[in-house]
Amino acid sequence: MLHPDARALIDLIDQRGLPAMNTLTPVEARAFYRDRRDFTQPAAPDVGAVRDASCDGPHGPIALRIYRPLGAGAAPSPGTTLPVLVYYHGGGWTIGDLDTHDVLCRQLCNGSGAVVVSVDYRMAPEHRFPAAVDDCLAATQWVARHARELGVDAARLAVGGDSAGGNLAAAVAILARDSGELPIAFQLLIYPATDMRRGHASHATNGRGYVLTTELISYYHDHYIADAAHDLDWRASPLLHGDLTRLPPALVLTAGFDPLRDEGLDYADRLVAAGNRATYACYERQIHGFITMGKVIDEANSAVALCATELARALAR
């Protein structure tokens, strides 16, 4: 059964006649997403400190937002280091920014006791695949190199993201493994896109009526992927990588009424089959995107708490 909170949200969207994202230009869709987030997102909790920063990347500067948890002080203390989560927001590689995921990053920061570094990677279609992957890897490398001044422990560095951000986190974890120079301690994959071919059964069963539609997925895909051959590139489709051994422990979280549900489950199963530790949790009554909607979907708050708890457990000394 679809959760009543999710049902009420879908009905309200229909009643108000809100436009589908795929009927808007990317610029219009970004503004629509950003300007209406307060309707579904809870109030932003206080954190110990938050500041904007930037780092260099292969395509130019990358904007970052750095959060310190409550009780940790406004600035790093000598001799004290915290774990760190590098977070990549969702939005189909086309929409979303530091502001749309500010509340979630604050929640994860306080709940896990970790510093969170949110990455404003480049958006499609202005910057197509693999620009987002390049930015996310560069930002993560920057965090590891600047661990001392950030007051974080580079040996307790996690990557994470939701939807497109989960896709990017999975890709960065593999790239980090292959480089041998960037140890990742944990990956938080919230309803990740893992297979650009879009052929899993849940794409058919959940592709209508649950906010993230087949048409909207194609809209995002086609803005991000310029060449159909890139669907088979594992940096776009981490599920297709031939070797998923020696990857960091993972929490893979999915939603029962999400078109991406089955590829998330497949990725969790592949991780375990390859000898990794991966916890899988499906919120069976929920829709794609629900974790940021704690103001109107109560289960979002328990999902955030689960993510924060698993982060804290994985990144404990």
Choose, from 112, 163, 202, 237, the residue flagged as catalytic.
Answer: 163
The one-letter amino acid code at 276 reads N
User: Strand 152-162 to strand 250-255: parallel, antiparallel, or no bridges (unpaired)?
Assistant: unpaired
C-alpha 167/C-alpha 240 separation (Å) is: 12
Is 221 considered catalytic here?
no
Choose, from 5, 120, 233, 258, the residue flagged as catalytic.
Answer: 258
C-alpha 18/C-alpha 30 separation (Å) is: 14
Task: Give the pair of three-digit tokens for residue 94.
Answer: 């086309």
C-alpha 273/C-alpha 111 separation (Å) is: 30
- Tell me phi and psi for residue 235, to 5 degrees: -65, -25
H or E, element range at 53: strand 49-55
Task: Give the pair of three-digit tokens for residue 82.
Answer: 């915290």
Which residues are registered as beta bridge partners of 252?
189, 280
Is 288 considered catalytic here?
yes
The helix/strand/coil state of 184 is coil
Is 258 considered catalytic here?
yes
Longest dimension (CA), the chain: 56
Active-site positions? 163, 258, 288
